[in-house]
Amino acid sequence: MLTDFLIRIAVAGVLGGLIGIERQLRAKEAGLRTHILVGIGSAMFMIVSKYGFEDILNQSHVSFDPSRVAAQVVSGMGFLGAGTIIIQKQIVKGLTTAAGLWVTAAIGLVIGSGLYEIGVYGTVLTLLVLEVFRQISNRLIGHHHLIEVRLRPQSVPQVLIALQKMRIRPGHIKVSQKDDDEDKCELVMDVVLSPRQKIEALYEAIMSVDGIKRVDVN
């Protein structure tokens, strides 16, 4: 039985690591080590919840629900996932990584309970969603980019006109004045490029506007 427990913990760590590799390749907030630890920890909590209280439960005067230990992993992952969600320039980022950690915890719980097939199946589906569906989304919907431009205030309308000529409609626009220089401001835009549009063309269109100081594309 001890050998089986050790195998479960190792398998949960490996499966979590597979998801972590994909996240780290995308330079996300939670990478390989984080997902491995989540998988290992979830499996250990499930083992404790399922087998750790057998000696106490056998006593006639004891009555409680040990499954609450595993149940708390679900709510506890909410706090860990919230740490990967950040708001950058009023744009929410990290939701997919938080969901990946949540699924990794679920995989760890499944493996910890001994359901290897379900855990492997869940890992494969998660990788398909993260990688294959990402490519499908980029090809059918487009690429999502966050653009930060430092420019003169009078150049803001010209940048918007340049985007309009490329048939790009920003989803969110924020213009803020730089405190250290009244002649400079910062323009932050959330745009989606269609599969036929290239980020290089967008960069050149923005840089062609007079008064542009700096352009950052994420």
Mean pLDDT value of segment 114-136: 91
Q: List the domain boundaries for the chain.
A: 2-140, 143-217
Mean pLDDT value of segment 153-161: 87
Whole-angstrom CA distances from 168 to 38, 87, 96, 135, 198 are 40, 23, 25, 21, 12
pLDDT at 44 over 60: yes
pLDDT-wise least confident of 48-57, 113-122, 126-135, 150-159: 48-57
pLDDT at 24 over 80: yes
Per-residue pLDDT, 181: 62
CATH of 143-217, one of 1.10.630.10, 1.10.10.10, 3.30.70.260, 2.30.110.10: 3.30.70.260
Note the pTM of the prediction, 2 decimals. 0.72
Give the strand pairing for 91-93 and 172-177: unpaired
Per-residue pLDDT, 156: 86
Angle subtended at Cα 5 by Cα 117 and Cα 2, rounded to the nearest 5 degrees: 140
- 162 compared with 145, residue with greater pLDDT: 162
User: In this predicted model, what pLDDT tens digit does every residue of 168-184 receive, in sequence order?
Assistant: 888 778 888 766 666 78
- What does the alpha-carbon distance between residue 7 and residue 43 come to, in Å, rounded to a whole number? 10
List the structure tokens of 89. 């320039």
List the structure tokens of 108. 């760890």
User: In this predicted model, what pLDDT tens digit does every residue of 10-21 receive, in sequence order?
Assistant: 999 999 999 999
- 206 compared with 144, residue with greater pLDDT: 206
List the structure tokens of 91. 């744009």
Whole-angstrom CA distances from 153 to 33, 91, 165, 175, 185 are 44, 22, 20, 9, 6
